């Protein structure tokens, strides 16, 4: 049997309140691991999947990691090479934490590392986005780009994949809670109206611009004032039980801002230091636990590395 290499790609928080489909950041943990190794059988195959409770397909073109890796291999003319993938899901899916994006990012990263890096991480991005697209049908990089590249990422255009890592002030912490309720990304996208009023547009563009200026100037108060989503959150909040109760408790605990992580049901908050992030975590947990909803909490700095070779 050939020896393999193992990669890790982290979970991510998409939208970050003010940037629906165009803003996201990576967490340190959780994430997915993929092992890639050469095989004597030509072509790409998925030989093992763990942690997915039988819910993920082994068929390469139906699997986000497999599809992404296959498209990348075709691009560099290596689709005839025998390669096996083992996918180890180490994060919840359908959580709003970018699970399919982490698999897609890990898929391209694993194959690229195995082949001794024919492409840069930046060049892997389009293939990882294609992989994630088979999960929710839409082409957006706000989970995949941070999962692959790390950091807080702005996607000026999803179509052109005009992607930019943003400056981060020191000490920013994310607290994310995943309540165990089901919210499918497809449904969460379907509830959104395609009508936005001029007033909403003015507020939201002010907030995203303010958020980015706040990041660049390390202006924590401006970041806090700007973390307000007047378009998406009001439409999706009803899909997440106790959302506004959590948000109120989180802001009271001192968070800079709080909103839905990606398509939900996870909820994220940003805080100015680790102590506040922990208090925020306690506040979040209390609401769901008091309401007898199982939950998982993650406290993390913003992951600057993205996908890595382990
Ligand atoms: N921007 C996406 C959404 C992220 O909110 O639907 C989840 O795929």
pLDDT at residue 2, as a whole number: 80
Q: For the chain, which domains are there?
A: 4-166+305-309 (3.30.230.10), 173-301 (3.30.70.890)
String of b and e for 174-207 (b: at least 16 CB within 10 Å)?
bbbbbbebebebeebbeeeeeeeeeeeeebbeeb
Q: Report residue 84's pLDDT band, with 50, 70 and 90 as the boundaries.
A: very high
Q: Please state, for a pLDDT cut of 90, what percent of the chain lies above it.
A: 95
| Closest C-alpha to ligand 1, atom 1 | 21
**Threshold 0.85, pTM exceeds:** yes
Q: What is the mean pLDDT of the chain?
A: 97
256 pLDDT exceeds 80?
A: yes
Helices and strands in the chain: count of H runs, count of E runs: 10, 11
pLDDT at residue 260, as a whole number: 98
Q: How many CB atoms lie within 10 A of CB 251?
A: 17
pLDDT at residue 135, as a whole number: 86
| Closest C-alpha to ligand 1, atom 6 | 263
Q: Report residue 93's pLDDT band, with 50, 70 and 90 as the boundaries.
A: confident
Q: Report residue 105's pLDDT band, with 50, 70 and 90 as the boundaries.
A: very high
Given ligand 1 and candidates 187, 262, 265, which is best to mutate, with the most ligand atoms within 8 Å of its CB? 262
pLDDT at residue 149, as a whole number: 98
pLDDT tens-digit profile of 16-66? 999 999 999 999 999 999 999 999 999 999 999 999 999 999 999 999 999
The three-point CA angle 233-235-238 to 5° equals 90
Q: Report residue 6's pLDDT band, with 50, 70 and 90 as the boundaries.
A: very high
Structure tokens at 268: 């994220």
Q: Is 263 in the pocket of ligand 1 (CB under 6 A)?
A: yes
Q: Could you tell me the distance, in angstroms and rounded to a whole number, from the CA of residue 179 to the centre of ligand 1?
A: 17
Of the chain, the end-to-end C-alpha distance in Å amounts to 20
Q: Is 30 in the pocket of ligand 1 (CB under 6 A)?
A: no
DSSP-derived secondary structure for 175-187: EEEEES----HHH
Cis-peptide into 163, omega within 30 deg: no
Query: Does 3 participate in catalysis according to the annotation?
Result: no
137 pLDDT exceeds 90?
A: no
Q: Is 21 in the pocket of ligand 1 (CB under 6 A)?
A: yes
Q: Could you tell me the distance, in angstroms and rounded to a whole number, from the CA of residue 134 to the centre of ligand 1?
A: 13
Q: Report residue 3's pLDDT band, with 50, 70 and 90 as the boundaries.
A: confident
> Which atom of ligand 1 is least distant from the CA of 136?
8
Closest C-alpha among 192, 189, 171 to residue 263:
189
Q: Is 15 in the pocket of ligand 1 (CB under 6 A)?
A: yes
Q: Report residue 303's pLDDT band, with 50, 70 and 90 as the boundaries.
A: very high
Query: Does 132 participate in catalysis according to the annotation?
Result: yes
| Closest C-alpha to ligand 1, atom 4 | 262
- The alpha-helical segments, DSSP class H, found in 237-298 are 243-252, 274-290
């Amino acid at each position: 049997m050939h020896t393999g290499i193992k990669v890790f790609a982290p979970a991510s928080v998409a939208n970050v309140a003010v940037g629906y489909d165009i803003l996201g950041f990576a967490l340190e943990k959780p994430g997915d691991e993929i092992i890639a190794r050469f095989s004597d059988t030509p072509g790409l195959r998925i030989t093992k999947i763990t942690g997915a409770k039988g819910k993920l397909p082994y068929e390469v073109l139906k699997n986000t990691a497999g599809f992404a890796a296959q498209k990348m291999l075709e691009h560099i003319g290596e689709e005839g090479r025998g390669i096996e993938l083992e996918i180890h899901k180490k994060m919840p899916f359908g959580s709003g934490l970018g699970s399919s994006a982490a698999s897609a990012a890990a898929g391209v990263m694993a194959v690229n590392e195995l082949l001794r890096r024919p492409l840069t991480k930046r060049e892997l991005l389009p293939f990882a986005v294609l992989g994630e697209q088979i999960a929710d049908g839409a082409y957006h990089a706000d989970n995949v780009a941070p999962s692959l590249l790390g950091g807080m990422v702005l996607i000026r255009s999803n179509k052109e994949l005009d992607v930019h890592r943003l400056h981060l002030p020191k000490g920013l912490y994310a607290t994310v809670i995943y309540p165990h309720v089901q919210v499918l990304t497809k449904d969460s996208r379907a509830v959104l109206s395609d009508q936005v009023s001029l007033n909403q547009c003015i507020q939201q563009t002010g907030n995203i611009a303010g958020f980015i200026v706040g990041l660049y100037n390390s202006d924590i108060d401006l970041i806090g004032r700007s973390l307000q989503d007047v378009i998406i959150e009001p439409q999706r909040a009803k899909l997440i039980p106790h959302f506004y109760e959590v948000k109120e408790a989180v802001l009271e605990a001192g968070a800079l801002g709080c909103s839905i992580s990606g398509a939900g049901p996870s909820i994220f908050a940003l805080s100015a230091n680790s102590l506040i992030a922990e208090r925020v975590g306690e506040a979040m947990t209390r609401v769901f636990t008091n309401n007898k909803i199982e939950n998982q909490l993650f406290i993390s700095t913003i992951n600057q590395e993205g996908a890595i070779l382990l």
